[in-house]
């Protein structure tokens, strides 16, 4: 069948080439009855009538997928997005504008900690209808903050400092590929890791790395938590408390999930949308989209489990018990209901890459740097930000520039004079590479209210020069 004949029976012009190639393969395999005649026409018509039925057919699947995406094009005019904060580099805005051209995009926002990422910028929030974008979730899927308030008196930070330093060194492990020996246990390992091929393949890696932290901006630290007034959600009175704060994600398993499904999404990206590159999506009404969704959520459980193990180990070594806590994901996607301009209230997929949920009354933690405070916050549920807030202070300097600018030992000495002990870190994570967290918080007062302040006192990060995993 030639181009004219194929288009006459309903093959879109953009799909003619793949239709001809498929018919040719069918003829070679003896399953296509040649390239001409009634049978060939019936084969094509069958796929045209119900392409979803053929999505996973080894012969007709590619043609079926192309049919289902043939009319999809980037939005000619990007959807609008609101920005919080003003210390945001132009590259992040350029990435946000690209994200706002994704065909399924219906809402977006940019947080005050924003900076350049891959695909969606760090600090980017993007709502899509019926689709999930692996790179808008990120490589470190479900990277997470966890704060535990301990029953030890706050003055342990001075009177029992050696004990706390030993607990931090003994209860944590940092670095690319680092593992726990012996392996740690958590009920997350009893989940169904066979939900996808890649999670099944990476379960052993996940078990080895359970309770470890990566490189880059991952940290575990002791600090002073201050509440100006009693908080009922935390069940804590006003005062000062010893607290443990950690930041890390799903490690090697999460990175494997991201890479596997982002590559798949890019292979399936319609030709008309190739310019969107890493913003390639998976439709949630396909098997691939459902598989990624299941894998992503498992990585969310795994990241939470790793933090639970870290806090359990460190608290035990310190001889302390947890009396209160707060934790929250970023680098994740959620199904939520939001008001979409011109469409009313609908369920959408909200990607928060380097942004954290801030629904009305929802608690979270927003960190600064090793020298600046983190804040326990309560969301205000602002619909303009898709009920989101920043996930931290945000970088204002690349890692290369940081290494060229700062000498870690000099910074470490300066911090020690200020009462902050840094057990390990790199020059690419010193305070000067981050925006001023107080300015970031001031820029999002309409997104969150501050509940408590955490001032770091004993800090551990990856200090072996590993490539950043954040």
Least trusted range by pLDDT, from 19-23, 167-171, 261-265, 437-441:
19-23
Average pLDDT over residues 279-283: 95
Q: Rounded CA gap, 447 and 377, in Å? A: 10
Report the candidate in 260, 264, 279, 245 with the shortest Cα–Cα distance to residue 461. Answer: 245
Is the model's pLDDT at 466 over the cut of 80? Answer: no
Supply the pLDDT for residue 11. Answer: 84
Do residues 74 and 308 make contact, with C-beta atoms less than 8 angstroms apart?
no
Q: Rounded CA gap, 458 and 156, in Å? A: 12
- Reported as a pLDDT band with limits 50, 70 and 90, residue 12 is confident
HSE-up of 445 (CA within 13 Å, CB side)? 4
Structure tokens at 172: 């944590």
Supply the pLDDT for residue 386. Answer: 98
String of DSSP letters for 437-470: HHHHHHHTTTTEEEEEEEEEEEEEE--S-PPP--
Structure tokens at 260: 């596997």
Beta strands in 156-196 (DSSP E): none
Average pLDDT over residues 129-152: 97
Is the model's pLDDT at 380 over the cut of 90? Answer: yes
Do residues 325 and 148 make contact, with C-beta atoms less than 8 angstroms apart?
yes
Average pLDDT over residues 111-122: 94
CB neighbour list of residue 342: distance below 8 Å, 6 or more residues apart: none
Supply the pLDDT for residue 71. Answer: 61
More confident residue, 13 or 328: 328
- Reported as a pLDDT band with limits 50, 70 and 90, residue 270 is confident
Supply the pLDDT for residue 63. Answer: 86
Supply the pLDDT for residue 61. Answer: 85
Crossing angle for the helix pair 16-28 and 61-69, to the nearest 10 degrees: 170
420 pairs with which residues across the strands?
A: none
Is the model's pLDDT at 428 over the cut of 70? Answer: yes
Crossing angle for the helix pair 37-49 and 61-69, to the nearest 10 degrees: 50
On average, the pLDDT of the chain sits at: 93
Supply the pLDDT for residue 301. Answer: 98
Q: Rounded CA gap, 467 and 56, in Å? A: 38
Is the model's pLDDT at 113 over the cut of 80? Answer: yes
Report the candidate in 470, 458, 447 with the shortest Cα–Cα distance to residue 165. Answer: 458
3-state secondary structure of 92: helix
String of DSSP letters for 361-405: T-EEEE--BTTB-EEEEEE---GGGTSEEESSS-BSS-HHHHHHH
Supply the pLDDT for residue 249. Answer: 96
Structure tokens at 322: 């947890």
Q: pLDDT tens for residues 172-183?
A: 999 988 999 999
Do residues 332 and 141 make contact, with C-beta atoms less than 8 angstroms apart?
yes
Average pLDDT over residues 257-270: 93
Alpha helices (runs of H) in 70-103, residue ranges in sequence order = 90-99
More confident residue, 50 or 386: 386
Structure tokens at 168: 């931090």
Q: pLDDT tens for residues 290-333?
A: 999 999 999 999 999 999 999 999 999 999 999 999 999 999 99
Q: Mark residue 251 as left, alpha or beta (left: phi above 0; alpha: psi -120 to 50; beta: remaining).
A: left
Q: Rounded CA gap, 241 and 58, in Å? A: 61
Is the model's pLDDT at 31 over the cut of 80? Answer: no
Q: pLDDT tens for residues 192-207?
A: 999 999 999 999 999 9
Supply the pLDDT for residue 25. Answer: 84
Least trusted range by pLDDT, from 275-279, 364-368, 378-382:
275-279
Q: How far, in whole angstroms, is CA 398 from its chain's centroid?
A: 19
Q: Rounded CA gap, 368 and 317, in Å? A: 26
Do residues 331 and 352 make contact, with C-beta atoms less than 8 angstroms apart?
yes
- Reported as a pLDDT band with limits 50, 70 and 90, residue 39 is confident
- Reported as a pLDDT band with limits 50, 70 and 90, residue 94 is very high
Do residues 393 and 113 make contact, with C-beta atoms less than 8 angstroms apart?
yes
Supply the pLDDT for residue 60. Answer: 85
Does the N-terminal peptide bond of residue 182 adopt cis geometry, omega within 30 degrees of 0?
A: yes
Least trusted range by pLDDT, from 45-54, 164-173, 243-252, 425-434:
45-54
Average pLDDT over residues 139-156: 97
Q: Rounded CA gap, 367 and 143, in Å? A: 13
Least trusted range by pLDDT, from 235-239, 248-252, 342-346:
342-346
- Reported as a pLDDT band with limits 50, 70 and 90, residue 427 is very high
Supply the pLDDT for residue 93. Answer: 97
């Amino acid at each position: 069948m030639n181009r004219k004949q194929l288009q006459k029976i309903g093959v879109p012009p953009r799909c003619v080439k793949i239709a001809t190639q498929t018919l040719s393969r069918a003829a070679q395999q003896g399953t296509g009855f040649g390239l001409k005649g009634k049978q060939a026409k019936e084969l094509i018509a069958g796929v045209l009538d119900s392409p979803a039925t053929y999505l996973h057919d080894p012969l007709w699947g590619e043609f079926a997928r192309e049919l289902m995406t043939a009319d999809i094009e980037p939005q000619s005019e990007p959807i609008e997005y609101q920005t919080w904060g003003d210390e945001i580099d132009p590259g992040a805005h350029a990435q946000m504008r690209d994200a706002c051209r994704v065909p399924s995009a219906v809402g977006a926002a940019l947080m005050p900690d924003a900076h350049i990422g891959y695909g969606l910028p760090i600090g980017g929030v993007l709502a899509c209808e019926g689709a999930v974008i692996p790179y808008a979730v990120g490589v470190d899927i479900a990277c997470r903050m966890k704060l535990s308030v301990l029953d030890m008196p706050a003055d342990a930070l001075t009177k029992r400092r050696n004990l706390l330093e030993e607990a931090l060194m003994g209860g944590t492990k940092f670095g690319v590929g680092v593992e726990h020996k012996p392996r740690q246990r958590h009920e997350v390992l009893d989940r169904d890791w066979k939900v996808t091929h890649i999670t099944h393949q990476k379960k052993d890696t996940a078990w080895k790395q359970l309770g470890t932290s990566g490189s880059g901006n991952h940290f575990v630290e002791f600090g002073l938590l201050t509440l100006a007034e009693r908080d009922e959600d935390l069940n804590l009175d006003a005062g000062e408390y010893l607290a443990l704060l950690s930041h890390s994600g799903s490690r090697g398993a999460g990175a494997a999930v991201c890479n596997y499904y982002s590559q798949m999404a890019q292979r399936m990206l319609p030709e008309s949308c190739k310019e969107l590159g890493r913003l390639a999506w998976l439709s949630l009404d396909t098997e691939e989209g459902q598989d990624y969704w299941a894998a992503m959520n498992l990585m969310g459980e795994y990241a939470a489990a790793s933090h639970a193990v870290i806090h359990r180990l460190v608290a035990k070594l310190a001889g302390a018990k947890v009396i209160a806590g707060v934790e929250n994901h970023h680098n994740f996607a959620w199904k939520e209901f939001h008001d979409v301009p011109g469409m009313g209230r609908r369920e959408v997929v909200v990607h928060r890459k380097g942004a954290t949920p801030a629904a009305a009354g929802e608690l979270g933690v927003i960190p600064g740097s090793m020298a600046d405070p983190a804040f326990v916050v309560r969301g205000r549920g602002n619909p303009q930000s898709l009920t989101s807030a920043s996930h931290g202070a945000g970088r204002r300097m690349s890692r290369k520039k940081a290494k060229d600018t700062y000498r870690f030992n000099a910074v470490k000495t300066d911090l020690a004079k200020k009462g902050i002990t840094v057990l390990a870190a790199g020059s690419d994570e010193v305070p000067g590479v981050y925006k001023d967290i107080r300015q970031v918080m001031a820029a999002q007062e309409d997104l969150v209210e501050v509940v408590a302040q955490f001032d770091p006192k004993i800090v551990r990060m990856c200090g072996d020069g590993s490539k950043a995993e954040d």
